[in-house]
Structure 1
Amino acid sequence: MAKRAPKKYPSLRFFITVTIMIIVGLVLVLSVGFYYIKTSSILRKTSRDSIVRELNQVNDTIQDQVEIIDSIIPLFMSNEVIQNALENPGAGINYPFSVERQMSYIYNSSALSEKNFTDSIYIYNSRSTVYHAYTSGILENVDDTSEFLQSTIDSANPHLMCYTSPLHDQNMYFARNLYSSNSGNRIGMIVININAQKWIEYCSKTIDPSWFIMLFNKEFSLSSDSDFSKDQLLDLYSSLTAQKNSVLFKEQSFGGRDYFMASQSLERLGLTSAVAAPKDLLLENLNSTLKSYLLVTLAVALLSLMAAFIISRAVTRPIDTMIFHINEISKGNRSALPPEGFYQEFRVWAQSFNQMLLQLDTYYQDIYQQKLLIKNAEIRALQSQMDPHFLFNVLNTIAWKAQMIDNEEIYEMVISLGSLLKMNTLSRNHNFTSISIEMEYVRLYVYLQQMRFEDKISCDIQIPEQVLSCEIPCLSIQPLAENAIVHGLEPKKGKGHLIIQIIEGDDSQLEICIIDDGIGFEVIPDIQSIASSEKDSHTHIGMKNLDKRLKLLYGPDSGIRITSIPNKCTTVSFHIPRKEFTHDI
C-alpha cells in the first residue's frame, strides 16, 4: 500500500496576510458599493431637481409667451379701423386692405414681433369675412386654414384657446372670441398663427444643449431635438402623461438612449411639456469620481497588503524564532533556549517553556540520581555479598549448637539475625512493602541491638492497628532507628529510650517519627551535607539514600526533618501519603 503524503498546512504568516487582505478587501468593496449607491442617489436627486427646475422654467417661459400673445389682442380691438370692420361687417367689406394694413402695423409695433415666431394673424367678423396679415415670409393656403379654424374653434369659449392643425405640423393657433363693447355680443374672433418649431427653440434657449424639451398631445408632438420623429414622440407621450398640477419624473429609454425625464400637463394649452436629459451625461461625473475613488481604493489596498505583510511578519517572527530554538533543542542542543524579549504573550510562553526545560532537566537528573543510588547500593551489596544459603546454613548450625547447650539467648539472637538477613535479601527487588512487614524487620534489628547493649536500650512502638496494612517504602524506618541507636543512644552515658511512632494526619497523610533521648544535635545538620567517616559511613549512606528516595517518590516536601534538644529529645520524621499496600513481598 502506497504511503500517503503528509498533509501540507498553510503558514501562519500566509493565513494572517490573507485574512487581513480579505477583511480589507471586503471593507473596500462595501465602501465602494456604498459610495456608488449613495453618490448615485445624490446625483439622481440632484438631476431630478435640476430637470424639474428646468421644466418649471420652460413652463414659465411658455406661460410668459402665452401672456404676451394674449396681451396684444386688446391692441387689435382698440384700433378704430379693425373695430369698425367688426362692429359693421357690411362696411368692412369695402376696405379689407386697410384692415390688414392696420393688423400688420399693430403686430410690428408689439413685443410679439421681436420674438419672430409668429407666421400670420387672422381676424374673422360675424359674417366669416377673413382679414389676414402675414408676419413672416412663409406662405400658407389661407382658405384651407380658415375653413379648419372656423370649424374647430369653440365660439362659446371666452378664454384664450390653443389648437393644432393636421394641415400644418409646425403650427399652433392661439384663438380668442371677440365681443362688442357696446352690446357684449360676439362679433368675431382673432387667431394668431405661431410657428411651433421656432417657439420651442426660443423656449429651450436657457437649457443645456444636450437636453431637449417637448410639447405634445394626442394628435400633436414637437421637440427641440429634430432627430426624433413624430411617431417616436407620440409613443413617448403615452408614458409621460402627468396628473394635473403635478410633475412626473421617471427614467425612460427613448431613441436607443436612457433619459431622465420630467413632464407636466399645461391645462390652459391642452398640451404636455417635458424636459429630457441623457442619463449617461448626468452620471458622467459619478463615473469619473468613481474612477478616482477606485484609484484611491487600489492605493489603500496596496498599502493594506504591505501593512498585512508587516503585521504578519511582526507576529510570526517571534514564533519562527521559537520554532528554531525548539528544533535546536530537539537536536540535543540544550543550551539554545528561546529568548524572552518579545511581546508579553511570547515572553510568558518563553518563560513557561524555559521553566518546563528546567523541570525536565530536574526530572531526568532525579531519575539519573535514583538509578545511580540503586547502582551504588547494588555495587556495595555485591562487594559485601556472600552466598545467602551459606550464611543461612551457618546461622542455623550455630542456632542448633546453642540450643544443644541450652543457651536460649544465643539461639534467639542467631535466629533473629538470620530472619533479618533473609528479609533484607528479599526486599532488594521491591520498592514498597506494608508497614507491618517493615516493622517486623525493625523489631528484629532493635532486638539484636538490645541484646548487644543488654539493658541500656529500651524501645516503645506506637503504631495504630489500622495503618499496619498501609504502603511504605522498603527499609525506610530501619535506617532511622539504626541512626538513633548508633549516633544518639550508644554514645550516651546511662540508659536510653527509643520511640517509634506513626501518626494519622487529617489530610490523608501518615507521619513516621523516630524519637530518642540520646545526645542529640547542637546544630541541626543538612542531611545531604553530613560528612561520612570510616566508622559511620553505613548509617550516613542509609540516611542520605532514604532522604533522596522520599523526595523522588513524594516530592521535595516529603524529605526527612530533624528536631533536637541536646541530651533530652531528638526527633527524626517524614510523612507519606496514606495508601493501602497491594503486593506482598
Structure 2
Amino acid sequence: MARRFRSIHSRLFFLFLTCMTTILIIVSFLYYSRSLDIIHSKISDIAQKNISQTAGLFDLMLEGYNSVTKSLNGNYELTRLLQETTNNPAVSVINERTITNIIGATFFSRKEIVGIHIITNAGKVYSYERQFGGVIDINYEQKEWYLKLKASSGNMVWLGFYPSSPVNRMQQDTVFVFGRQLYDLTAYKSIGMMIIETNPAPITEALSNVSISPNTRAFITGKDDHIIAKGEQEGEFPVLNNLPKPSNGHKIIVDDESDQLIVAAKTSLADWTIYGITPKSDLNAEINQTRLYLAIVIIALIIVSTVLASLVSRTIASPLKLLIREMKKVELGNFSGSVNVNSFDEINSLVSSFNRMVHRMDELIERITLSSVSEKNAQLQALQSQVNPHFLYNTLDMIYWMLDEKENERLSRVILSLSQMFRYSSNWGEASQTTLGQELEQIRHYLTIIEIRLDGRLETEINVSEEWLDVILPKVTIQPIIENAVKYGLEPLGTPCKLQVFAEQHGHELHISITDHGLGMDEETLRQVRESLGMNANVAIESIDQPRRGIGLHNVHARINMMFGEAYGIRVESHRGQGTTVTVVIPIPLQRRHADEYSHRR
C-alpha cells in the first residue's frame, strides 16, 4: 500500500483533490457571504429602479391625458358652440353634430379612450363613446366625482378607477376616469366640465413593473390616502396611514426595516404615490434557493474534482507508463512500435520525440538495407532498361539522312555527343551517384543532338553557379525531365522555343529548375502528374517491369526519395499555354551548410 502511494498517479490524485477541495470550500464561503449582500443590494436597487421607471411612465401617461383635456378646452369652436343658444331646430342639430364631431376627433386621438362626456352648466350632456345609447344618471350632481370636478378651478382632477362608467349607466366595464372644468378662455368663466374614461389596462400594466415577486402588492394612492388604482395581485393591503410617504425632496424611498420591503415614489404631474410592498419571505425564499443551489454546486464540484483528479493523474502517469514499456521494447531491438497519447504538451512533445527517434532509427536501418549494392544495381539496371529506344532510333535516322546529305560537320557533332551519352549512361558502377557538374555535361551533349534535330528552333540557357557543381544527385536525373519538356512541351509548337536550366538555394535545399516556354498542361493533367509523384518509392520499384514511355518523372522522383528521403524529389508547376517548370529538390551537403552559416556570421 505504501509503495502504491509513492506512485506518481496516487500522489497527483491526492494533491490535486486536496487543493481543489480546499479552494472550493474557501471560495464557496466567500461567495455565499458576498452573495447575501449582493442579493439584498440588488433587490433594493431593482425595486427602486422599477418604481422610478413606473413613476416616469405614469408621468408620461398623465401628461398625454392632460394634453387631451387641454386640446378640448382650447378648442375655440367647441367652447363657442357649447355657449350658443338658438331657437332654430336645424341650427341646433347642426351645432350638436359639430360638437360631437369635435369630441369624436379627440376620442380617436388615443386608442385607450373609451368615452368622452361634456356636461354644460345648462345641464346639456354631449357624449362620444364606443357604446352608444347610454342612459345618463339623473342624480349625477350628487355624485362624488361631480362634486370634485365642480370644486376644482380648471385643474386636472384624477378620479381613479371606477367599476363602471360614472356617467353612462349602461357601460359596466372598469374604467379609469379623469376630467376638468371647461372654461371660456376669452371671458375666463366656467361653461361646464369634461369627463374622460379610459381603458385601465395601461395603468395596470404599468403597475406590474413594480412587482419583484409574485406576492408584491402594487397600488396608487391620492393625496387623501385613498387608493386610486391597484395591480392585479390579490392580498390584504396595509393601513395606508402607516406607510412612508415620499417628500418633494425625496421622490423615491426604500424601507426594509420591517418584515416587508416597501418602495414608494411620487409622480410629478399628479399628487399620486406609487407603492410596491413585497414580503421579506419572498426575498428569503430566493436566498434559500441560492443556498440550496450553492450546496448542490459544491457537492457536484467535489465529485467533478475527484473525477478530474483521477483523469489528470492518469493523463500524466499513463503516457509515461506506455513510454517506459515501449522503451523496453526498443532495448530488445524492436523498432516497429510507437506510442500514441494525447496528454499535456510537454508529455506529447516527449512522446513525439521518442516516436521520431524510433522511426528515424527504423528508417535508417531500412535505408541501409535497401541501399545495399546488389539491390541498388538491380534497381538501376531495371531503371536503365526503361530508356526509351525511340531516341536512339531517331538519332540513327538522323545520322542516316545526314550521311545522305553529306553534312559531315553536323554528323561528327551528333556522333560525338551520342558517344559521350552512351559512355555516361552505360557506366553504372558504384550505384548511380554523380555530381551536378557531370550531369550538366551530359545534358549539354544531349541538347546538342536535340538542337540539331529541331533544326535550330530550340534555344537553351543553363545558368548554374560553380559552387553547386560538386553537389551529389542520382545519375540521369535531369535528362528525362528535359526529354519530356522537348517532346510534350516544345516540339509540338513547331516554332522557335526556349528551355532554361538554373539552380537556386532555398534554406538547406538546392532547387534545380527546368523551365520550358511551351504548351503547358491543363489542370486535370497537372493533377494526375502530381498524384503519380505522390506514390511511394516502393510502388515505383514494383512498377519497373511494366512498359512505360521513357524513364519518366515518377522514377526520377522515386530515385531521389531513395537517395535522400521522402522530403526531397520533384515538384511540378504548369499553366496551359505558358509552359511548365519542373524543380528537382535535393539537400545541400552538411559541410556546405556549415560553411554558409560561418560566412553569414562573419
TM over 0.5: no
**Could you tell me the TM-score, scaled by structure 2's length?**
0.37
